[in-house]
Amino acid sequence: NEVVDFRHEWRNPCIFFYRRSARDAGSADAAMSEALAKQSGRQPTDLEIFSSPSISTKPPSKSSFVRLKPENLPGKGDLVAIDCEMVALTTEESFINSNGRKVVTQPSQLSLARLSCTTEDETVFIDDYIVTPDPIVDYLTRFSGLVPGDLDPSTSAHHLVSLRTAYLKLKRLVDRGCVFVGHGLLMKDFPVINIFVPPEQVRDTVQLFHVRNNRFLSLSFLASYLLDVDIQGDTHDSIEDARIALRVYKEYRSFKEGGILERKLTEIYEEGRRRNFQ
């Protein structure tokens, strides 16, 4: 009975599946049911996953990504730069304690809203905006760059997909052995998406440029110091952030291969303190 109890607002049925309790095994209906059952268990191909159409009803604007053929998709050991933007489905609950500090009792529930991925040569091959069936209480525009209408199938001019489609793309890249490069993957992006990526397939620049017992460094500060590039002015853009994270990682790799990583980390933190990490 609990399975079909939808009295609570948060329990929204997505699929109803009916099965006839008794049927003639030799009937046409039985043959059709068995065929459908076999088809439903079939895994979608790379072509089906990565060429999925937009579910927006509005004519699309100029595409922000290139559709790669299955044979051209990144494979084992290939770098994939990734960045995600989120929206909030619930508001944060907090209070100010006697010391004047903010204490969060219930963090806001986040949902994946945009997923951008590039190849090692910075070709964008995924730039999906994700539809959520749940009400959005905050688009977090300052951080996500998203505004009302971006995720609405009736108004969005972006490439709009379901959360399942976006997840399948990521899962397929994980299974292919791609190495993901990004900023905040382990603490933010992957936990929100609820996907496990083996540690050997992750290059998180938050962790790589961190010195124990010191603060974590922002992508904008690393971009400014290492690349002399200013990013994230008014809002974040996931394509820009993915590309910058990839360039920052290549700087890290160069420092490590050259045997100067420890010295560079010391210099970065010294300059950060001088500039208040701005």
What are the tens digits of pLDDT across the range 49-98? 999 899 998 877 788 999 999 999 999 999 999 999 999 999 888 889 88
Alpha-carbon distances, residue 121 vs 15, 23, 208 (angstroms):
40, 57, 21
H helices of the chain, where?
A: 28-40, 46-50, 141-144, 163-175, 190-193, 205-208, 219-222, 238-257, 261-274
Token representation of residue 237: 């853009």
Pick the residue with more confidence: 235 or 17? 235
Q: What confidence score (pLDDT) does residue 27 get?
A: 45
For residue 193, the Cα-to-chain-centroid distance in whole angstroms is: 6
Residue 211: helix, strand or coil by DSSP? coil
What does the pLDDT read at residue 23? 46
Please tell me the predicted confidence (pLDDT) of residue 46. Answer: 86
- Return the beta strands (E) in 198-238 as ranges: 202-204
Q: With cut-offs at 50, 70 and 90, classify the pLDDT of residue 13.
A: low
Q: Answer positive or negative: Cα dihedral of 120, 122, 128, 134.
A: positive
Under 8 Å between Cβ of 87 and 151: yes
Residue with tokens 């309790």: 21
Q: Tell me the average pLDDT across 92-107.
A: 86
37 token code pair: 């059952």
Ramachandran area for residue 239 (φ above 0: left; ψ -120 to 50: alpha; else beta): alpha
**Taking 70 as the threshold, does the pLDDT of residue 120 lie above it?**
yes
Which is more confidently placed, 242 or 33? Answer: 242
Encode pLDDT of 126-148 as tens digits.
999 999 889 999 999 988 889 99
Mean pLDDT (the chain, rounded): 86
Ramachandran area for residue 96 (φ above 0: left; ψ -120 to 50: alpha; else beta): beta
27 vs 180, residue with greater confidence: 180
Q: What share of the chain has pLDDT > 90, as a percent?
A: 64
Nearest residue to 235 via CA among 150, 158, 144, 113: 144
CA distance 225 to 209: 12
* Pair of tokens at residue 196: 């496990």
Report residue 2's pLDDT band, with 50, 70 and 90 as the boundaries. Answer: low
Average pLDDT estimate for 210-238: 88
159-195 pLDDT, tens digit per residue, is 999 999 999 999 999 999 999 999 999 888 999 999 9
Model pLDDT, residue 108: 86
Residue-wise pLDDT for 35-46, tens only, equals 444 455 567 888
236 Cβ contact partners less than 8 Å away, ≥ 6 residues apart: 85, 143, 144, 145
Report the pLDDT value the prediction gives residue 162, as an integer from 0 to 100: 93
| DSSP bridge partners of 126 | 117
CB 236 within 8 A of CB 85: yes
Instruction: Identify the helix (H) or strand (E) that includes residue 82.
Output: strand 79-88
